Chain A
Amino acid sequence: MAVFNEQQKKEIAESLAVVKKTVKITCVTRGTDCRYCSLTKEMLSELAVLSPNVDINFYDLVEDQERIKDLKIDKVPAVILHRGNNSNIRFFGVPAGYEFQTLLEDIIILGNNNSPLSLETILEINKIRTPLHIEVIASPDCPYCPAVVGAVHKFAMANVNITSDMIEISEFPDVGKKYEVKGFPHTVINGNHSVTGMLPELELAKKINGFVL
């Protein structure tokens, strides 16, 4: 059974029609013990058909471990969007529901090489000169989560030192326990600082810099 219905396919194709450059995506799944891996593969396979500029490669975490070792994937399903040689824009868990919007938006931004961040935010985020890991723990029903996931993905597009992950809590409850998540979206910086709730991109960028600079 198809993941997208005909109307959704039409809308996705219309959305992706503005993508001008090829956007490379890597999808890493596992053959067993992964409830949403096959769904993620099917969804992305259907998505790739809807745009000539979306190029998706599929790998198995176990069988292809040598080929994907540089990606340092520790959870599946993983969806990684590439910008040149960088692989710092990532989704862990199927990017459906509210997060599907973020995936489409990421593709469109990368495919046009044009950041929608405000100038002030870009200046703020480019103060980061050392590797920074941002994890946004999101819940499927949280309408505020995509804004934060989208913001930190844009940070990663603007600054290669930043790796930004969306982690879907229902698929990775251990991550929620590890970071003692009590509200969504829960943003973790370098594994030891956290921000709960939705902040505007500039305020979030300043908050992150306050932790690490």
Chain B
Amino acid sequence: MDNRDNIFSFEIDAVQGFFVPDEAVLYDLVIAGWGPAAVSAAIYAARKGLNTAIVTKFKGGQINDTPVVENYPGFKSIGGKELTLEFNVHARQYGLPLLTGEAVTKIEKNNDIFYTSTENQRILKSRTVIYATGKRNRRLNVPGEEKFIGKGVVFCAICDAPLYKDKKVIIAGGNNSAFTVATDLVKIAKNIVIINIVRGWTADSYLQNSLKKYNNVEMLDYHRIESITGNNDFKGIKVRNLETSGLYDIDADGLFVEIGLIPNSDAVAGLVALNDNKEIITDRDCETSLPGLFAAGDVTDVTYKQVVIAAGEGAKAALSADNYLKFISNKGE
């Protein structure tokens, strides 16, 4: 538990967190989110002189949960947390008002004004919006999951892994995220069971190979978790072997869920067109089906969900928002 290697990393962006957006102001642009797409959009918007406010559940997006990023130009290898800090430091110099700790719950457009509502019942007004809220962890949606979230069912491995030292843990998922969590946990946990619902592991081969040297890892391919067991305390799972249809119990101390992501598009569902995966459909300029509302990053249908692509899309969305504002401004003259 004694992980103090990062003790000297000090996140110094309190000023940005303090100057909350003013609900009385009509902003040029409100940005929802604070991952790579949103940060990049904010930098470009600030440099274009747009009066911009930002609202986000938390700073960093999915890269906060990523141990290492090795494909972002300028950084051969950098922790997700450290890259977030670099983003924050870069964006902070523009002094944009930023509301943290509350997600956008609804966006409406009336008479060319966007009204962005938040979880704390604030409403921000703007002439354009960039929606860059990323994705969140997909849940298993099995009995017992909700009851044991934070009490044995884990969605933030980087937060909670130290609590499972010398314990038996189950990891749900067969993808890169699941194996990245496994490679971290295998060093501290007593035993690991990795469960994959589809036939065949999808994680990169180098990640799969990295686990082969450990003898405390069990891999169950083509198995489905049917429920979480336990009355008051987490006990384990019921799992079905999809090959044989056999159902059996696995007792453990925790379950790490890494079965993919779903887009945070709820606040704009019904307002803009979504695809079947509930991703926001955008064109090459990051425009959505609603004029003035732009979207960028993993919440959209852009192909290849990567940090560098999200950052590029965010920049593009800000430039498109700037063009849109010039267009409606000229139209009014």
Q: Which A residues have a C-beta under 8 Å from some C-beta of B?
A: 3-4, 8, 11-12, 14-15, 18, 36, 39, 94, 96-98, 100-101, 104-105, 107-109, 112, 116-118, 120-121, 139-147, 150-151, 169-170, 173, 176, 181-184, 186, 196-198, 200-203
Contact = CB atoms under 8 A, between A and B. Distances in A.
Interface residues of B, number: 48
A179 to B, nearest CB: 12
21 contacts: A11-B89, A15-B14, A18-B18, A96-B7, A96-B8, A101-B10, A104-B14, A105-B14, A107-B14, A108-B18, A118-B120, A118-B121, A118-B122, A141-B81, A142-B159, A147-B58, A147-B101, A181-B163, A186-B150, A200-B101, A201-B120
Interface of B: 1-4, 6-15, 17-18, 20, 57-60, 64-65, 81, 84, 89, 100-103, 118-122, 149-152, 154, 156, 158-160, 162-163, 234, 254
A141 B14 contact: no
Nearest to B234: A182
Given A14-B15, A186-B150, A120 B7 contact: no
A170 B1 contact: yes
Given A101-B17, A181-B163, A8 B120 contact: no
Contact of B17 (A105, A142, A170): A105
Given A12-B12, A182-B254, A116 B3 contact: no
Contacts, number: 147
A8 B58 contact: no
B291 to A, nearest CB: 30
Interface centre among A150, A169, A183 (most CB of B within 10 A): A183
A136 to B, nearest CB: 13
Contact of B154 (A4, A116, A144, A183): A183
B120 A120 contact: yes
